A and B are shown apart, each in its own frame.
Chain A
């Protein structure tokens, strides 16, 4: 078992696709929450092979895309403070804030390093005792535990020049916010795989129970997504709404207890601004009182200046599933991966980027 090729098998795919076609009778609208799923769906042309009864929508599950400009501006302002080294995951570099991006301030002299792990950031702090190393804490429940682990490590190793700028987002609260708004009528939800690997399947149960929406947690290979759609169709056709796990090799119903424990030890929930969605209660994480000396917002005097949103960009509507990139007048003309205007075109997991790169809606 190599865990990749088996899940891209054309034989298995053919079987699943014909099963979905046979089973699906009722018109239904599914949303994939996660940007990783959006990429799989476009990269493998999954929308093309599904029956006309099924409508697929992309959701807000791209951490870069949902980060509000006000938060991006804080990171960019921090980068311009002398003797600060910003460490970040690669996706964040190109995202435009109100006035600039991390990549642009890097080109004009700010010290910004791309890291793959928070431990690299921590080591960098240890090696540069005269500098302040700030890790941009972006991501969902997937990345929060490793950032919590780095805080505990910093404490243990007595590293006092390591900080985090917490811009974490939590998934279940934002789904509730979207469903509460009533803007989008959904019948099924493709629940995020990696987020669920951490939090388990129970936190999604309210969606099935309170909103009558079928939920299946999916992996990220094309066979995973097809299997997930097949299971959603089975629920719809039998009039059920419950939470099921298609991604058995990655997700346990109880989640990853160790990771959850780390998160709870270091962080507590707080409200957050989501691009296009606004403030959502308890949808972010802030450092608990005993770890506040690692909080970059408290340690530095950050002045991000006034916030601007790009004119004409509909990323916010796209993130709520109300519009698609094809509805945007900037898409593919003024806004391309080379010259992006909105974050959904910048991030590799953004809907606009997926539509653009994989040619959704092209003929031939």
Chain B
């Protein structure tokens, strides 16, 4: 068990025993106040804090999420993710074993993503001041020459590609939440997407926008893109892949899968002439094998997202407001 305020020695031991060994690399091993490295080119820099509850869920844990989330934010700018920082805020009483498990999955995720953890920090706070474990990661990556990806770049006529099924992460996490647990075979889709994006950029340097539909789901991401680029987006319900397990859980809870979080999916806005080649390389990648064109960008009604339903009618897809709450009946 980790206790608060035991001073420098214990913290030092924690860093030595848990982190340095698992995350070993020359930059981190120096233990200087800052990681120092050389860079040339255009830099992408991002940060995110992870407070998921429960910290372990089917298909991942808070550690894997903290690496993948930040790696994916870098990748969505077209950057090749390189280095991450890692800060822990630990509630006293967290079993050492659980922390080790988290560090272990951080190591595995970082290895898969091809990034190094080069600096970090650990704080242990009083019981009740945090919920088990909070993690912040920041990351930097290099944007290749000629790549210009932004939520502003969607143009009328572009195609909208979705890399796979939606809602897996949100439902997997919810299935383990206190007071709501239900059994499902479903696992979180939590995955680092740097490799997938690299393959896509190799196929086309003219990808206009990339975004990972995390909190707020696909609906919120499409709305952000439509508003930022001042275009409308039309998607087709039948093209959006939702697994049976997700559909069933959403029916039970009264959720719309379009608003449920993903942690290993991306939306790409691609000019029509490059769509086929981008789709081809996506489908050859493990994390994009179910990729499909789900709709297109149009000029009229800027900021609006419309979905053609399975009945052939249309409806507006709005942003998520607040949290989604389970319904009564």
Q: Is A115 part of the binding interface, using a Cβ–Cβ cutoff of 8 Å?
A: yes
Q: Are A10 and B329 touching (Cβ within 8 A)?
A: no
Size of interface on A: residues with Cβ below 8 Å to B: 49
**B67 CB, nearest partner CB in chain A, Å:** 30
- Size of the B side of the interface (Cβ < 8 Å), in residues, is 31
Listed residue (A63, A116, A338, A349) with the most chain B CB atoms within 10 angstroms of its CB: A116
Shortest CB–CB separation between residue A11 and chain B, in angstroms?
Answer: 9
Q: Please tell me which one of the listed residues B253, B304, B313, B327 contacts residue A44 in the complex, with CB atoms under 8 A apart.
A: B313
Given A48-B314, A348-B254, A2 and B326 contact (CB-CB distance below 8 Å)? no
Q: B residues within 8 A CB of A5?
A: 244, 247
How many A-B pairs fall under 8 Å by CB? Answer: 107
A48-B328 in contact given A115-B179, A364-B300 (Cβ < 8 Å)? no
- A120 interface residue, CB < 8 Å from B? yes
Known: A114-B179, A115-B179. A89 touches B309 (CB 8 A): no
| B312 interface residue per 8 A CB criterion | yes
Interface pair B311/A10, CB less than 8 Å apart: yes
B106 at interface by CB-CB < 8 Å: no
Which B residues touch A349, using CB under 8 A? 254, 327
**B327 near A90: Cβ-Cβ < 8 Å:** yes
Q: Which of B179, B325, B329 contacts A93 (CB 8 A)?
A: B325
A48 to B307, CA, bound (A): 14
B315 touches A116 (CB 8 A): no
Nearest to B301 among chain A residues (CB) is A364
Question: How distant is the Cα of A364 from the Cα of B300 in the complex, in angstroms?
Answer: 9
- C-alpha gap A14/B310 in the complex (Å): 9
Please state if B312 and A14 are interface contacts (CB–CB under 8 Å). Answer: yes
Contact B322 A338 (CB under 8 A): yes
Nearest CB of chain B from residue A321's CB, rounded to whole Å: 20
With A46-B313, A49-B312, A357-B316: A91-B327 Cβ-Cβ less than 8 Å: yes
> For B300, B313, B329, which residue has the most chain A Cβ atoms within 10 angstroms?
B329
The distance in angstroms between the C-alpha atoms of A93 and B328, with both chains bound, is: 11
Write out, one digit per residue, whether chain B residues 291-322 have a CB within 8 A of any chain A CB (1) or not (0).
00000000011001010011111111010011
Contacts of A10 in B (CB 8 A): 238, 310-312
Q: How far is the CA of A120 from the CA of B179 in the complex (A)?
A: 6
B301 partner residues in chain A, CB cutoff 8 A = 364
Q: Which of A208-255 contact B (CB under 8 A)?
A: 222, 226
Is A359 close to B, CB under 8 A?
Answer: yes
Given A45-B314, A337-B321, A348-B254, do A116 and B326 touch, yes or no (CB 8 Å)?
yes
**Is B248 engaged at the interface, CB distance under 8 Å to the other chain?**
yes
A42 at the interface (CB under 8 A from B): yes
Docked Cα-Cα span, A182 to B13, in Å, equals 78
Bound CA–CA A311/B318 (angstroms): 27
Which B residues have a C-beta under 8 Å from some C-beta of A? 179-180, 232, 238, 244, 247-248, 251, 253-254, 256, 300-301, 304, 306, 309-316, 318, 321-322, 325-329
By a beta-carbon cutoff of 8 Å, the part of chain A in contact with chain B is: 2, 4-5, 8-10, 13-14, 17, 36, 42-46, 48-49, 63-64, 89-94, 113-116, 120, 138-140, 142-143, 194, 222, 226, 336-338, 348-349, 356-359, 362, 364
Known interface pairs A49-B313, A94-B322, A114-B325; 9 further A-B residue pairs with C-beta atoms within 8 A, sorted by A's residue number:
A13-B310, A17-B311, A44-B310, A45-B311, A194-B329, A226-B311, A338-B321, A348-B325, A359-B318
A to B CB contacts below 8 Å, 23 in the list: A10-B310, A10-B311, A10-B312, A13-B311, A13-B312, A43-B256, A43-B309, A43-B315, A44-B309, A46-B313, A48-B314, A90-B327, A91-B326, A91-B328, A94-B322, A114-B179, A114-B325, A140-B329, A142-B329, A357-B316, A358-B315, A359-B315, A359-B318
